[in-house]
Amino acid sequence: TYVIVNGEFIHRSEAKVDIEDRGYQFGDGVYEVIRVYNGKMFTGTEHLERLIDSGKKIGMEIPYTVLELTKQLKHLIDKNGLNLGTLYLQVTRGIAPRNHAFPSRDVLPTFVAYSKEVERPVGNMKSGVKTILNEDIRWLLCDIKSLNLLGNLMAKQKAVEAGCFEAIQHRDGVVTEGSLSNISIIKNGKVITHPADNLILNGITRQKVLEICRQNGIPFSETQFTLGDLKDADEVFLSGTTVEVTPIVEIEGEKVGDGNAGPITKNLQELFIKEIEKECGA
């Protein structure tokens, strides 16, 4: 299979990482994961705009436009014959002698992208997933899709060790997001999710779900909700590029509702699939 390194298409086995690449040493960079359905990117533009935006937020200019990146990624999909899967892209602040301070502007960022075949998460989407609660100990710039994922990794690992899929993170009693997904609750027919501020990643899937709510007259609100609200919720679901819309049926061993995927979550799943079909074809 082919991968992209700084705009060049090379074989996976020929791609190398320099030991002084700042992504490798410091996690000094940003990334994206884009879903491919039917050989086409889903919400590709939104992801690429966020990549460039994340770069800006860490003072790094990504040396490609959305259009140029789109072209490269389409070419990668074609070259690898990818039908159903994901694209992983990352941009680091480049290769320079190790120093906390940023290197000079003439050090070019390192851009890497590769593709992977991945099935849709149909099992979890149908039966729902179990979760734990975990204190959100991450930094205060969670809106940046940074390579620094240790806080998220430790949260996910804790969930896995508890036999769960995801960790629902909370800060000062307020639910923020998962380790790799956004969290929403449904109470009395209304979808509630944390506002898109510095405490969460403004998920592209989250935005798509809210757009679906808007277009279909499903009430929603971007407001903070507490652990108490979470416990009282009728339905809870997570959203993300790889998980799509997945019901949460258990939190810390306690059932959400009757322990099955709820009707509004199921409706959102169906409407989400329609969006995929609209953009990527059947």
Q: Based on CB atoms, which residue is closest to ligand PMP, 99 or 198?
A: 198
* C-alpha span between 269 and 235 (Å, rounded): 13
Using H for helix, E for strand and C for coil, what is the string for 103-172? CCCCCCCEEEEEEEECCCCHHHHHHCEEEEEEECCCCCCCCCCECCCHHHHHHHHHHHHCCCCEEEEEEC
- From residue 95 to residue 134, the character string flagging contacts with ligand PMP as x (rule: CB under 6 A) and all else as - is ----------------------------------------
**Interface pick for ligand PMP out of 29, 128, 203, 262 (rule CB under 6 A):** 203
* C-alpha span between 208 and 27 (Å, rounded): 28
Report if residue 87 touches ligand PMP, rule: CB under 6 A.
Answer: no
Residue pointed to by tokens 């959400």: 256
How many CB atoms neighbour CB 126 within 10 A? 13
Q: Based on CB atoms, which residue is closest to ligand PMP, 33 or 113?
A: 33
Residues 162-191 that bind ligand PMP (CB under 6 A): 177, 180-182
- How many amino acids of this chain bind ligand PMP (CB under 6 A)? 14
Catalytic pick from 130, 145, 156, 208?
Answer: 145
14 burial type by CB count under 10 A (0-12 exposed, 13-18 middle, 19+ buried) = exposed
Known active-site residue 266: no
**Interface pick for ligand PMP out of 191, 201, 212, 276 (rule CB under 6 A):** 201
Q: Which of the residues are catalytic?
A: 145
Q: Which positions lie near ligand PMP, rule CB under 6 A?
A: 33, 152, 177, 180-182, 201, 203-206, 239-241
